[in-house]
Amino acid sequence: MAKPRKSRNPASDLPAPARLPWQPPAQPVATALLISLAALLVRVLVSVGPYSGQGAAPKFGDYEAQRHWMELTLHLPTSDWYRNTSDNDLAYWGLDYPPLSAYQSLLHARLINASLPDTVALRSSRGFESPESKLLMRWTVLSSDLMVFFPAALWFVWAYMKDGVGGGGEKREGWMWLLAMVLINPCLVLIDHGHFQYNCISLGLTLGAIAGVLSRNELAAAALFSLAINHKQMSMYFAPAFFGHLLGKCLKRKYPILEVTKLGFVVFGTFALVWWPYLRSYQATMQVISRLAPFERGIYEDYVANFWCSTSVLIKWKRLFAIKPLKLMSLCATIFAFLPSFVQQVKSPSNLGFLYSLLNSSFSFYLFSYQVHEKSILLPLLPASLLALHEPHLYGWFTYYALFSMYPLICRDQLLLQYIAVLGLFFLIYYSPGASYVKGINVSSGTKAVLSLPLLCSILFHIVYLQIEPPKRYPFLFDALIMFICFSQFVILTLYTNYKQWMLDLHPRPVGRRKKDL
Amino acid sequence: MAAAAASPSTATVWAFAAATCVKLLLVPTYRSTDFDVHRYWLALTHALPARQWYVDASSEWTLDYPPFFAYFSRLLSLAAPLVDASLVSLPVPAAPHSSPYLLYLRLTVAFSDLLLLASVLLLAVDARRRQRPFLALVLVLWSPALLAVDHVHFQYNGFLMGLLLLSLHFLEQGKDLAGGVAFAALLCSKHLFLVAAPVYFVYLFRHYCCGRGVVRGLGRLVLMGAGVVAIFAMAFAPFMYYGQMQQLFSRLFPFGRGLFHAYWAPNFWVFYIILDKILAYVLRRLGFNIEIPEASFTRGLVGDSSPFAVLPKVTPITTFLLVILAMTPCLVKAFSNPQPKHIIRWVSYACSCGFMFGWHVHEKASLHFTIPLALIAMDSLDDVRHYFLLSIVSCYSLFPLLFENQEYPIKVLLLLTYSTLMWVGFSSHLSANSAREEKKANASGIIVKQKFTGWISLWYLSGVFAIELWSQVFHNYVFGDRLPFLPLMMVSVYCGVGMMYSWMWQLLWIVRHT
């Protein structure tokens, strides 16, 4: 990827370098506050824009789905939330996230009901849209983000720096850049505060769990990660990494069985607590589970840059196979994909290896599992952002293509302006003056040319997608081409990160390893 | 530090680019009637010949800026037909505009800010040829007040401030002729800056023309005069040729506007009103028969009837004399010892005087001295303290401009982020400085930590929170829908205290140190 390289002002007659106000000796707490405020400001600014399905009757979009869930959870008894009843038409945005999501909807519904009851009135509120209700709905996402994702990010950065996860090569003041990279993640900001979803909660809980692992609070981590799974089942993408890492750590301790039992107890306890209203009968539980795994919707939807969708140009998976063999195939492929990273963590768990493993296992789910959305790229993007100090090029590269893979969605939501602004802001912070973490890549010009080819294509397609009408025979030609570009990049990325994770063992880093092999 | 390898100009451009991204995100926000004003001016200057610019009355927003601004509008309208032909058609369509339409107008503001960037880049070196701290430049580019007024409310202050800063840069570098010409161009773009003209006149006369012998001085006087006259001729000659000077001046100086704008700018006159109210109340209690004036304070147009019950009526002449009187110490200083290193301070002070005592002052006028003062905010500990207070107060006094719910978190976060940036930057700047001084002095381990906020200013600033909390939450509980203007008055009066302090501080500093 041909990045605009910063001039390093080699000539000595140039003026002295600019002293950035947030660099030491700035107070760390005030600086963290500054970064958080700026991240919050960006979110608030994006939230002024349109949301998915704005004014698009009769089906609307994710905004309406969330509003509808608030309406359902507020007015129906718990037992009816996941059942088709006269008040709950499952075909119209039926609830398909685990119970914690439903509780969150209920909480937000109560808050909105206190001031704007029309927004969440049963049945009559379908497709309800007003400037005030938009503001209130936006505020529910903003407050969730502020209360879950922000503290988790701060905790993570604190744990990361305290433990020296990335090794001795990283500067102490790198934490500011890392925090900014984690908080100002353009994809997350656009999807949550533009498109309208609550990924900040499940990702924030996962991030909290990761911070828990890094700071050796395994039990808290297990509880937080269980909550994340119970908010969005997609958090399972990280499960192999958590399982492998925690298992590997337990096996190295004095009483491995006891340690595993403790963790298992916490996980089961958390699940039981969340699922309590549905545990009364087998049938009720199965009803919820069947809602969470919508196999009938097919192996992929729209144009998601994963294996099944990209290869379907050559092999018509949906036509050739029934749902059942497809399920099995995708399951096997996913397991094969995350197995190397899983085995590595069981064998030699380390904090850095854990972060790589999170990235690899979530990538394997994104690429091979059943029913993946284009928005699921947020999940691999989270561990990639955590590795930003260690793998700055990878993160910049990945963020760009992850955002590009959602470009058709962004265009549909009319968030193009926000897309440009947030992408610009991200790369400005990425290349901020004073951030020397992004060094030039030492590769041959041939490799550079190969890397910059997809970049040029993607820039071209940004314009083509907007300006040129696709041929009538292939109305989704450009969507498919965007998908191909992104898929190729994602495959290269995950091969690289798998390789890096395995290399951690072969080339043990000399510094800061002693603490991590607990 | 190895990390800070970026040169100051790269870093400044970086800061500007970041601000531009924020400006893009501000495109869909609320816009005031000023948006319609500038939209009309764009169409007017594009569709009609110059002969009709100051005559046309097809909209209620008639052109009331000097000709350079009209030319500027004409320049911005050049690309408009490519985007949307209705942008430059007259009469301005009343129908809701398309999104390219809105985007185009917003982008013209962001584009015209390039002049501000250019001036800030030039100002990276101060009058003593030293590097200005990067933070001082960032404080200009990221000013929340400028963002709110230009990119939400909709005005072109970035361009005007760019012109003012450009002229200040020339003066600081001793290029007096260029500075004078730039200031003349500014006057021909917005005549509100006339208030700084006395300082410019005195300074340029003394620094440029005097002290070099009579002949050379006279020559320079003629040169400067010719430059300024040339600029004014470029602006006004066409309209003089059309015989529209009287029409033009009646547009530029509309008489009959009241002492106050719709919302009270936090200046001296706020206290005058409050004193009048209190006196009226007390005298009535004592048994005097005091008539309640009919004119309302909260309307922009007051007309001839005096809004005061007890105190004498204020006329434009009174305010003019007061402004000149307030400026006198500064003029004397500029006359006796004209030094380029003080010019930013003197011009800012002149603008503050205009703001404090002027006739029909807009709250937005506080930008005219807050922005230049940002450049010298880090010159000394006192400056740091003063700017920290002033910038927060001036930005807070602009809050009532953005009154819709959607913009509420935006304005609050803009101010909070900016204040935190100042907090982080100033404290690290001061501790770096004291560390350097310690090294120099090799002092015996006594570390005097320099706090950039005193107790009084800290308490004052927390009062801002209290006022905001009151007007947002408690006012509704206590009074319900009654007294809707009370929160606005509280903001004006409270910010007026801070502004009064800032004005007096500037005066004292100028008297003592320049």
**What residue spans define the domains of chain A?**
29-54+129-506, 59-128
Q: What angle do CA A123, A127, A132 make, to 5 degrees?
A: 105
Q: What are phi and psi of A501, to 5 degrees?
A: -65, -40
Type of residue found at A61: G
* β-bridge mates for residue B223, sequence order: none
Closest in B2, B7, B424 to A9, CB measured: B7
In this structure, are residues B449 and B433 in contact, taking their beta carbons and an 8 Å threshold?
A: no
pLDDT at A2: 36
For A17-71, what is each residue's pLDDT tens digit?
Answer: 777 888 777 888 999 999 999 999 999 999 999 999 888 888 899 999 999 999 9
pLDDT band at A13 (very low <50, low <70, confident <90, very high): very low
pLDDT at A507: 62
pLDDT at A450: 81
pLDDT, greater one: B508 or B258 = B508
Long-range contacts of A334-337 (CB under 8 A, 24+ apart): A334/A364, A334/A365, A334/A368, A334/A369, A337/A363, A337/A364, A337/A367, A337/A368
First-last CA distance in chain A: 38
**Taking CB atoms and an 8 Å cut-off, how many pairs form between chains A and B?**
157
Task: Give the integer Cα–Cα distance in Å for B280 and A307.
Answer: 81
Domain boundaries, chain B: 8-252+318-429+451-513
For residue A336, the distance in angstroms to the closest alpha carbon of chain B comes to 42
pLDDT band at A167 (very low <50, low <70, confident <90, very high): low
Is the pLDDT at B191 greater than 70? The verdict is yes
pLDDT at B204: 94
B14, B102, B130, B378: best to mutate for the A interface, most A CBs within 10 A: B14
B13, B25, B388: best to mutate for the A interface, most A CBs within 10 A: B25
pLDDT, greater one: A515 or B234 = B234
pLDDT at B2: 35
The pLDDT > 90 percentage for chain B reads 58
pLDDT at B294: 55
Residue A48 with chain B: CB contacts under 8 Å: 25-26, 28-29, 406, 410
The b/e string for B325-354 (b: 16+ C-beta within 10 A; e otherwise) is: ebbeebbebbeeebebebbbbbbbbbbbbb
Task: Give the integer Cα–Cα distance in Å for A205 and A208.
Answer: 5
Chain B's closest residue to A10, CA to CA, is B5
The Cβ of residue A48 has, within 10 Å, a number of other Cβ atoms equal to 22
Is the pLDDT at B440 greater than 80? The verdict is no
The Cβ of residue A406 has, within 10 Å, a number of other Cβ atoms equal to 27
Residue B3 with chain A: CB contacts under 8 Å: 23, 171, 173, 434-436
Task: Give the integer Cα–Cα distance in Å for A166 and A394.
Answer: 15
Task: Give the integer Cα–Cα distance in Å for B323 and B356.
Answer: 8
Closest in A8, A19, A44 to B410, CB measured: A44
Interchain contact, B424 vs A30, CB within 8 Å:
yes
Query: Mean of the pLDDT values across residues A425-430?
Result: 94
Interchain contact, A20 vs B11, CB within 8 Å:
yes
pLDDT at B159: 96
pLDDT, mean over chain A: 88
Is the pLDDT at A512 greater than 70? The verdict is no
Interchain contact, A424 vs B24, CB within 8 Å:
yes
Look up residue B361 and give its DSSP letter: B
Residues 6+ apart with CB under 8 A from B273: B260, B264, B297, B307, B308
Residue A146 with chain B: CB contacts under 8 Å: none
Task: Give the integer Cα–Cα distance in Å for B156 and B75.
Answer: 13
Task: Give the integer Cα–Cα distance in Å for A162 and A172.
Answer: 10
Query: Mean of the pLDDT values across residues A105-123?
Result: 93
Q: Exposed (0-12), middle (13-18) or buried (19+): which is B139, by Cβ within 10 Å?
A: buried
Q: Reply yes or no: is the peptide bond before residue A25 cis, omega within 30 of 0.
A: yes
Residue A9 with chain B: CB contacts under 8 Å: 5-7
In this structure, are residues B112 and B158 in contact, taking their beta carbons and an 8 Å threshold?
A: yes
In this structure, are residues A346 and A244 in contact, taking their beta carbons and an 8 Å threshold?
A: yes
Structure tokens at A288: 């919820």
Residues 6+ apart with CB under 8 A from B8: A15, A16, A17, A18, B124, B131, B134, B137
Is the pLDDT at A85 greater than 70? The verdict is yes
Among the listed ranges A134-143, B170-179, B450-459, which one has the minimum average pLDDT value?
B450-459
* Axis crossing angle, helix B67-76 with helix B99-112, rounded to the nearest 10: 130
Which of helix, strand or coil describes residue B331?
helix
For A359-381, what is each residue's pLDDT tens digit?
Answer: 999 999 999 998 888 899 999 99
Strand positions, DSSP E, A330-383: none
Interchain contact, A8 vs B5, CB within 8 Å:
yes
Residue A20 with chain B: CB contacts under 8 Å: 4, 11, 134
Write down the H helix ranges in A164-198: 174-183, 186-189
Structure tokens at B310: 């007890």
The distance of Cα A338 from the centroid of its chain, to the nearest Å, equals: 17
Residue B104 with chain A: CB contacts under 8 Å: none
Query: Mean of the pLDDT values across residues A328-345?
Result: 94
Residue B438, chain A, CB below 8 Å: the answer is: no
Is the pLDDT at A4 greater than 60? The verdict is no
In this structure, are residues B41 and B63 in contact, taking their beta carbons and an 8 Å threshold?
A: yes
Strand positions, DSSP E, B71-145: none
Task: Give the integer Cα–Cα distance in Å for B513 and A318.
Answer: 82
Interchain contact, A428 vs B425, CB within 8 Å:
no
Residue A16 with chain B: CB contacts under 8 Å: 8, 131
Which of B496, B191, B198, B498 shows the shortest CA–CA distance to B328? B198
Which of helix, strand or coil describes residue A450?
helix
Is the pLDDT at B356 greater than 90? The verdict is yes
Query: Mean of the pLDDT values across residues B147-158?
Result: 95
Instruction: List Cα–Cα distances, B180 to B164, B170, B188, B204, B365, in angstroms.
Output: 10, 8, 12, 7, 21
For B466-498, what is each residue's pLDDT tens digit?
Answer: 999 998 888 888 887 777 788 888 899 999 999
Query: Mean of the pLDDT values across residues B373-390?
Result: 93
ipTM: 0.92
Residue B428 with chain A: CB contacts under 8 Å: 21-27
Interchain contact, B25 vs A418, CB within 8 Å:
yes
Query: Mean of the pLDDT values across residues A497-507?
Result: 86
Interchain contact, A19 vs B133, CB within 8 Å:
yes
